[in-house]
Each structure stands twice: as structure tokens, then as C-alpha cells.
């Protein structure tokens, strides 16, 4: 792995663990094993490196979600597959976590990858709801955009509630509830 890749991966992990404010250049260097000179050679300081790491995390989130969205089965099954996929719930979302960091939210460039990936996620979920309506799976009076936003919020809110309770049950209950609202039956321990 190149120095730049090691820096990006170390920063991704630290951002997920500590947030932007809690991730220092010294911690990045220690985690990556790359010296300060390499960090400033490849990136424009902490913000530039964090932006590269955030873009990578956003890309990975999209890639993982798209594997479920474009998989086989009905639109409802693909939505359920995404909501019920294996994830480290108690660790939270590597992107969602950064929305609680004022240094990220106050910086348009750092906030952009978050805005973009969440807009994409809401849009893809809305597309699946519309597809399900066309196929007669979902009620025709559903607002696909609103339901897509609700499903994305269920996941993000589920992470927050699970972390607070130190158990995955609130996340699992929230995703089951969302699927029930769509008329999809999913076993409790699926």
C-alpha cells in the first residue's frame, strides 16, 4: 500500500472512531506509519486528507448499498436487503458520525461528500419505492421521495439509538418497523 493510501485508510478509521476534531495529524501519522513530510507531500494538510478519506468512505457506502439496491428480487426485497444487511451497528455510520462534528458541517468542502452520499441514498431508495409502486408492491399513494428520506433516516437514527442503548435492538426494531410500514414482512431475527 502506498504512503497516500496508508494515510487515507488511517484517517478513515480515525474519523470513524474520533470524528474530525478528535483526529490530529500526529494520530494519523502514528496510525499510518507515514511521516509528516509524506502527509504534506500528498495532501493539503489535515483538511485535504480528511476530504480524501471522507470521499473514500462515501464511495464505499454507495458501493455497498448499490450491491443491495441492484441485486435480484423485488424492489421490496432489495430495500429489505439493504435495511437488514450485516453492519457494525454499535460502531455507527462512518459518514453519519461526521454530521455531528461542527468543524465538518461548518466547512462546505468537508460537508459536500456527506451531502452528496445522503442525497444519492435518498434518491436510490425513492427509485426503489417508485419501482415497487409500478409493480404493485407498494401503495400507489406513497410519496417515493418522502419514503426514501424516511428509510435513510431510519438507518441513521437507528445507529444513534443503538449506540446510545449499547445494543443493536433499537436499530433492528426501527428497520423492522420501516419494513412493516411498507407492508413487507420480515422475521424478527432475520
Residue that is written with C-alpha cell 407492508 in the block: 183
Confidence band, pLDDT 50/70/90 cuts, at residue 158: very high
Residue 158, CB-side half-sphere exposure with 13 Å CA sphere: 22
How does pLDDT run across 96-143, given as a tens digit for each residue? 999 999 999 999 999 999 999 999 999 999 999 999 999 999 999 999
- Please give the model's pTM, rounded to 2 decimal places: 0.91
Confidence band, pLDDT 50/70/90 cuts, at residue 186: low
Give CA–CA dist 149/122, Å, rounded: 5
Give CA–CA dist 105/86, Å, rounded: 28
Given a cut of 50, is residue 190 above it in pLDDT?
A: no
The pLDDT assigned to 187 comes to 57
CATH fold for domain 55-181: Tetracycline Repressor; domain 2 (1.10.357)
The pLDDT assigned to 93 comes to 94
* Other beta carbons less than 10 A from residue 61's beta carbon: 19
The pLDDT assigned to 188 comes to 53
The pLDDT assigned to 35 comes to 83
How does pLDDT run across 6-65, given as a tens digit for each residue? 999 999 999 999 999 999 999 999 999 988 788 888 888 899 999 999 999 999 999 999
Over 19-52, what HEC string results? CCCCCCHHHHHHHHCCCHHHHHHHCCHHHHHHHH
CB within 8 A of 63, min separation 6: which ones? Answer: none
Given a cut of 90, is residue 76 above it in pLDDT?
A: yes
Q: Find the angle CA(172)-CA(173)-CA(179) to the nearest 5 degrees.
A: 90
Give CA–CA dist 77/36, Å, rounded: 48
Q: Find the angle CA(62)-CA(64)-CA(69) to the nearest 5 degrees.
A: 85
Amino acid at each position: 500500500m502506498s504512503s497516500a493510501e496508508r494515510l487515507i485508510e488511517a484517517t478513515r478509521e480515525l474519523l470513524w472512531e474520533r470524528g474530525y476534531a478528535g483526529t490530529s495529524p500526529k494520530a494519523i501519522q502514528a496510525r499510518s506509519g507515514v511521516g509528516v513530510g509524506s502527509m504534506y507531500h500528498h495532501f493539503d494538510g489535515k483538511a485535504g486528507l480528511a476530504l480524501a478519506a471522507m470521499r473514500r468512505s462515501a464511495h464505499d457506502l454507495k458501493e455497498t448499498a448499490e450491491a443491495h439496491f441492484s441485486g435480484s428480487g423485488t424492489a421490496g426485497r432489495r430495500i429489505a436487503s439493504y435495511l437488514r444487511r450485516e453492519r457494525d451497528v454499535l460502531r455507527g455510520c462512518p459518514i453519519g458520525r461526521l454530521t455531528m462534528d461542527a468543524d465538518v458541517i461548518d466547512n462546505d468542502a468537508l460537508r459536500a461528500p456527506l451531502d452528496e452520499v445522503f442525497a444519492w441514498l435518498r434518491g436510490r431508495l425513492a427509485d426503489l419505492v417508485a419501482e415497487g409502486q409500478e409493480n404493485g408492491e407498494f401503495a400507489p399513494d406513497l410519496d417515493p421521495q418522502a419514503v426514501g428520506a424516511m428509510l435513510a433516516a431510519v438507518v441513521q437514527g437507528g445507529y444513534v439509538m443503538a449506540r446510545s442503548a449499547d445494543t443493536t435492538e433499537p436499530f433492528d426494531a426501527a428497520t423492522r418497523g420501516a419494513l412493516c410500514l411498507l407492508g413487507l414482512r420480515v422475521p424478527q431475527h432475520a
